[in-house]
Amino acid sequence: MGALTTHWEIVSNPALCRAHPALAEAAATVGGRQTQNVGTVAGNVVNASPAADLLPVLLVSNTSVTLKSASTTREVAIEDFVVGRRSTQRRPEELVTRLSLQPVGPRTGETYLKIGRRGAMEVAIVGLAMRLAFDREGVVVDARVAACAVGPRPFRSREAEARLVGSKLDAATVREAGELMRGSAAPIDDSRATAAYRSRLLTPLLARAAGACLARAAAKN
Ligand SMILES: Cc1cc2nc3c(=O)[nH]c(=O)nc-3n(C[C@H](O)[C@H](O)[C@H](O)COP(=O)(O)OP(=O)(O)OC[C@H]3O[C@@H](n4cnc5c(N)ncnc54)[C@H](O)[C@@H]3O)c2cc1C
């Protein structure tokens, strides 16, 4: 994806919506139509808001960020690129020119779920992206889960991911994975929600996302 791709260009592109459904879901929640018309993917990434909707999806897509200056080009994994709240590895002389997402593989489903007080013009209280790959028996062989608005920067929970791998998403395992994700989070109180409320959302949100990934992976077969 070129850096200047707007959220609306993602949402309104049927091929992209099929190829990267979680990305399209996240882009569709950014602000309102006006924000989506002018806001770009690179702007969302470099802005590095703790609540940036695209970042959880880019994390579970193992995205690589291309940075160019007059004399250099380098690729940085998105997980390393955003280093903290509104802080990235970008050097002053560099522009982001491209984001490269790993394609969604066979028997794999992904989703982005956002909790807010209303349907548009809403910064996330919690946002959660998940990508799950299954084998032919329905066992999870690869799990990636990331959240925003529950820490200084969007993050992947390796503990939750490790708990899901090898399971068939039975309720107890999914709940334990949600609790592990809660353990990795560091939410704060603000005008939108309390830290306690944000934390409590993670377990049910992760369970909903797991169900959506399973359904989407099954629908591809
Ligand atoms: C009313 C409103 C609602 C919003 N709602 C949401 C929301 O729900 N979810 C959400 O995630 N965000 C939201 N945003 C934040 C913002 O609009 C989006 O993150 C958008 O994607 C930013 O893109 P932009 O192109 O406008 O970036 P800008 O705001 O123009 O830039 C952001 C930063 O990135 C830098 N930058 C931009 N492009 C590049 C590049 N190619 N290379 C290097 N640096 C670059 C700029 O210099 C600046 O520092 C909202 C903003 C507004 C005003």
Mean pLDDT per 10-residue interval, the chain, length 221 residues: 98 97 98 97 98 98 98 98 98 98 98 93 96 98 98 98 98 98 97 97 98 96 65
How many Å lie between the centroid of ligand 1 and the Cα of residue 33? 14
Which atom number of ligand 1 is nearest to the Cα of residue 90?
Answer: 43
Please report the pLDDT score of residue 78 as a whole number: 98
From the CB of 43, is ligand 1 less than 6 Å away? yes
Domains and CATH numbers, the chain: 7-100 (3.30.465.10), 108-220 (3.30.390.50)
Considering only CA atoms, which residue is closest to atom 19 of ligand 1? 44
Please report the pLDDT score of residue 220 as a whole number: 81
> Strand 155-156 vs strand 140-148: parallel, antiparallel, or unpaired?
antiparallel
Considering only CA atoms, which residue is closest to atom 37 of ligand 1? 43
Q: What is the best residue among 40, 90, 148 to mutate for testing ligand 1's pocket, by most ligand atoms within 8 Å of CB?
A: 40
Please report the pLDDT score of residue 221 as a whole number: 65
